[in-house]
Amino acid sequence: MHIPVLQNEVLQYLDPKPNENFIDCTIDGGGHSLAIIEKILPRGKLLGIDADEEIIRRLKFKIQKSKFKNNFILVCDNFSNLREIIKKEKFSRVSGILFDLGISSWHLEESGRGFSFLKKEPLDMRYNLQNPLTAEKILNFWSKSEIERILKDFGEESFSRRIANEIINFRKIRPIKTTLQLVEIIKSTTPVWYQRKKIHPATRTFQALRIAVNDELNNLEKALPQALEILKPGGRLVVISFHSLEDRVVKHFFQKHSSGRICPAPKTGGGVNIPRAEPAGRSEVALLTCQILTKKPITPTKKEIKINPRSRSSKLRAAMKI
């Protein structure tokens, strides 16, 4: 079961109120969305988006039996098409948008698509099965320089050159078809000390391939400006990232569109005191687009990490449209 990461913090920064509309761009199992729905009843709507058709099918079945079925709109699409999605669904007056960029437990444990390096599965790694590109195609048909670039740029893998070279040598003998074949390639070419680190030696390679197959960073860069445009004044944008590449994209986007003023959460008290948008008085103020709400990224507590170890690398950033 997918456990929502930083759920209390998501609610604090989105600050949902009765009858407001929200978008969850990565709805997955609906954990965050169900918590938001509770706050926006009775007439609030939540538009949930996911690129995986199976995820949407499962969630539709789940909410059909719930009291919230009339508050949900579910769409199978990529969030990089956010503007077209809301136009098609006639979804407006959006008070908050959430991106939870973490891979779901279902993809790792049940999908059988090769997202996990802990069991033998085909090297697929697609969220959308209509996507013609798979990890297997990259590993077996792309050049050594392209594979090395993927591992270096998307996985920040120190041994990208060694691993890429061994991939080329291996595939000359037989095709690379399964996750465990790839794990053995990685282990055969990296030092013993690297394999004894807390992080599994295949982590960065699998991350890099998943990002490349699904074009994750480009899609995020396309979606963030659309999200800010769609939000009504005073609307909040919350993004949870799970590695430095995603966090860097979000951080730079917020800084680029920021007023320069930061409204951090109070050190004490019950919840985050998020200001509402100020009216534009001067022309230069009118040109500003967002106000950063998180001076530094919010990270999970030790208690949450103990309950949900996968939350340990998560970072939350939030901004408000002004």
CATH number at residue 135: 1.10.150.170
* Helix, coil or strand: residue 88: helix
Domain range spanning residue 204? 111-214
Please check whether residues 222 and 100 belong to one and the same domain: yes
**Cα(242)–Cα(32) distance, rounded to whole angstroms?**
16
Task: Check: CB of residue 281 under 8 Å from CB of residue 263.
Answer: no
**DSSP letter string, 261-305:** EE-PPPSSSSS--PPPPPP--SHHHHT--EEE--SS-B---HHHH
Q: How much is the mean pLDDT over the chain?
A: 91
Average pLDDT over residues 179-196: 96
Is 77 among the domain residues?
Answer: yes
- CA 75 to chain centroid, in Å, comes to 17
According to the model, what pLDDT value does residue 303 have? 94
Please check whether residues 185 and 311 belong to one and the same domain: no
Query: Cα dihedral angle (56, 43, 231, 36), rounded to 10 degrees?
Result: -60
Is 27 among the domain residues?
Answer: yes
According to the model, what pLDDT value does residue 280 have? 41
Please check whether residues 176 and 137 belong to one and the same domain: yes
Average pLDDT over residues 173-191: 97
Please check whether residues 203 and 222 belong to one and the same domain: no
Which of 106, 105, 33, 62 has its CA nearest to residue 308?
105
Please check whether residues 141 and 160 belong to one and the same domain: yes
**Is the per-residue pLDDT at 286 higher than 90?**
no
Average pLDDT over residues 280-306: 77
Please check whether residues 135 and 86 belong to one and the same domain: no
**Is the per-residue pLDDT at 1 higher than 90?**
no
Taking only the tens place, the pLDDT of each residue in 56-89 is 999 999 898 888 899 999 999 999 999 999 999 9
pTM of the model: 0.90
Name the domain boundary from 151, 185, 214.
Answer: 214
Which two three-digit tokens encode residue 151?
């591992």
**Is the per-residue pLDDT at 287 higher than 60?**
no
**DSSP letter string, 162-218:** HHHHHHHHHHHHS---BHHHHHHHHHHHS-HHHHTSSS-TTHHHHHHHHHHHHTHHH
Is 37 among the domain residues?
Answer: yes
**Is the per-residue pLDDT at 159 higher than 60?**
yes
If pLDDT is split at 50, 70 and 90, which confidence band does 120 have?
A: very high
Please check whether residues 201 and 236 belong to one and the same domain: no
Residue 66 makes CB contacts below 8 A (sequence gap 6+) with none
Which of 16, 26, 15, 131 has its CA nearest to residue 74?
26
Taking only the tens place, the pLDDT of each residue in 261-283 is 655 543 433 334 444 444 444 33
Among the ranges given (7-11, 34-38, 304-308), the one the predictor scored with the smallest mean pLDDT: 304-308
Average pLDDT over residues 244-265: 84
Among the ranges given (2-6, 82-86, 243-247), the one the predictor scored with the smallest mean pLDDT: 2-6
Percent of the chain predicted with pLDDT > 90 = 81
**Is the per-residue pLDDT at 53 higher than 80?**
yes
According to the model, what pLDDT value does residue 65 have? 82
Average pLDDT over residues 241-266: 83
β-sheet bridge partners, residue 318: 238
Average pLDDT over residues 287-313: 90
Please check whether residues 99 and 242 belong to one and the same domain: yes
Domain total in the chain: 2
**Cα(166)–Cα(186) distance, rounded to whole angstroms?**
8
Is 1 among the domain residues?
Answer: no
CA angle 90, 94, 96 (to 5 degrees): 140
According to the model, what pLDDT value does residue 267 have? 40
First to last CA, the chain: 37
Task: Check: CB of residue 134 under 8 Å from CB of residue 214.
Answer: no
Name the domain boundary from 193, 214, 235.
Answer: 214
Percent of the chain predicted with pLDDT > 70 = 90
Please check whether residues 195 and 224 belong to one and the same domain: no
Please check whether residues 89 and 228 belong to one and the same domain: yes
